[in-house]
Amino acid sequence: DGSELVEVNNYVRSNQAEPNAKMFGLADGRNLIVISMESLQNFVINNDMNGHEITPFLNSLTKDKDTFYFSNFYHETGLGKTSDAEFLVENSLYPLGGGAVFFTHSGNKFHSMAESLNDKGYFTNVMHPNNKSFWNRDMMYQALSVQKFYDVNSYDVTDDNSVGWGLKDTPFLNQSVDLMADLPQPFYSRMLTLTNHYPFDLDEEDQFIPPYDSNSKTLNKYFQTVRYMDESLKSFFDDLKAKGLYDNSIIVMYGDHYGISENHNAAMAQYLGKEITPYESAKLQRVPFFIHIPHSGVGKVETEVAGQIDIRPTILHLLGVDTTKDMQLGADLFSKDHEDFAIFRNGGFVTDKLVYAGNACYDNSNGSEIGIENCQPYIDRTTQELGYSDQIINGDLLRFYDLKTGNLLIEQAEKENK
């Protein structure tokens, strides 16, 4: 109702992070390409498996002068998996604790990143070679103001170029660049990869490294599909350059959620050489996050604790979009006001000093369990912030929020409530 809206709005306004003047507008006018890297966890980055480098291309980006790589960045998804990560990116709100918000609330009013960029003259689209109704995307993308969905019907899919869930990442990304070449610019293309998805099936010709040797077939194959995705991303960058799209774009890439569940803890313990405690499990929820800005020369490794909720304000500020009126819960990663704090959808959290997981509090410097009172202030904030996000979604509160003026339409909200 109206009072809920006032409270949520006060919270959002008082928690805003001031943009970093050096970064604001740095990529103004460029095309925006956001890539969801399926099931990619951070533990494979700058790591090897039995002497084989797993992600040579992404590793090179962690050392690249045009790339920011965030090494303490967490996924914040729930049951909606890929779609929950999409929701976080578009809205900077948390997905729901129960079912997938793409299914349960596609009739809501949202003020998405796509909407902001439509207003700025961008052509907004999503590229994903799956059935358009998977995760209810066709419905939700309307609510998110995505102008065009290039679904499976926009791609040339054959037995030969498919595996597992469908079109392989390399032909998918390659064909996507062909589509991009014909788009009006600037465009915002959000791309969802697919090959690195459970059960991690891969044709022989695409296996660049051997499988791992644990008792988990899933983990053993995971390294190979990750390596394949890495190769696909490398050729995607090459294709962008070949089509003249690279120089005037920025490329943002995030791991959408974990790929290796806790069912494979024994195999993960073998690989990592340590027991997988609830603390380690929480740290394994890190996913790689990259912001690649060609010719910027400003890149570096950032160790700030952060999460997917922060993607949208960070991108919009880079593109020179003011977000002071946006109803968003994340903060610009380049802002000095950004706090080392990532909230999990299950109520856990991580800060630079603490990890709260499985109802226990841990010292983030060494993983030892400490008294719950150390975590309590952040537990309270986690509950509060997830609560406000849920209120916005469950109450469809953005119906009563005028993004242009920042005005709350309280009377309408009250009327609706009667």
User: Of these residues, 82, 170, 277, 382, which one is catalytic?
Assistant: 82
Q: Within 10 Å of residue 247's Cβ, how many Cβ atoms?
A: 11
Contact 331, 108 (CB under 8 A): no
> Could you give the angle at the alpha carbon of 31 between the alpha carbons of 25 and 33, nearest 5°?
110
Q: Is 86 helix (H, G, I), strand (E, B) or coil?
A: helix
The item of Mn ion, ligand GP9, none sharing an interface with residue 151, based on CB under 5 to 8 Å by kind, is none
Q: How far is the CB of 256 from ligand GP9 (least distance, A)?
A: 6
Distance of CA 25 to the CA centre of its chain: 21
In this structure, what DSSP letter does residue 39 have?
A: T
Residues 284-343 that bind ligand GP9 (CB under 6 A): none
Q: How far is the CB of 352 from ligand GP9 (least distance, A)?
A: 29
**H-helix or E-strand spanning residue 388:** helix 376-394
Point out the residue whose Cβ comes nearest to ligand GP9: 81
Q: How far is the CB of 192 from ligand GP9 (least distance, A)?
A: 5
List the one residue from 82, 175, 277, 285 that touches ligand GP9 (CB under 6 A): 82
Active site residue 67: no
The item of Mn ion, ligand GP9, none sharing an interface with residue 232, based on CB under 5 to 8 Å by kind, is none
197 is an interface residue for ligand GP9 by CB under 6 A: yes
Q: Within 10 Å of residue 253's Cβ, how many Cβ atoms?
A: 24
Tell me: is residue 111 an annotated ligand-binding position. Answer: no
Interface with Mn ion by CB under 5 A: which range of 52-60, 74-82, 179-187, 331-339? 74-82
Contact 385, 92 (CB under 8 A): no
Residues 90-149 that bind ligand GP9 (CB under 6 A): 130, 134
Using the minimum distance from each CB to ligand GP9, give the nearer residue, 81 or 317: 81
Nearest to 225 by CA among 215, 233, 237, 236: 233
Interface with ligand GP9 by CB under 6 A: which range of 79-87, 322-330, 393-401, 406-414? 79-87
Interface with Mn ion by CB under 5 A: which range of 82-90, 231-239, 308-316, 384-392? 82-90
Tell me: is residue 66 an annotated ligand-binding position. Answer: no
In this structure, what DSSP letter does residue 310 have?
A: G
Contact 213, 224 (CB under 8 A): no
Phi, psi (rounded to 5 degrees) for 337: -85, -10
Looking at the annotation, which residues are catalytic?
A: 82
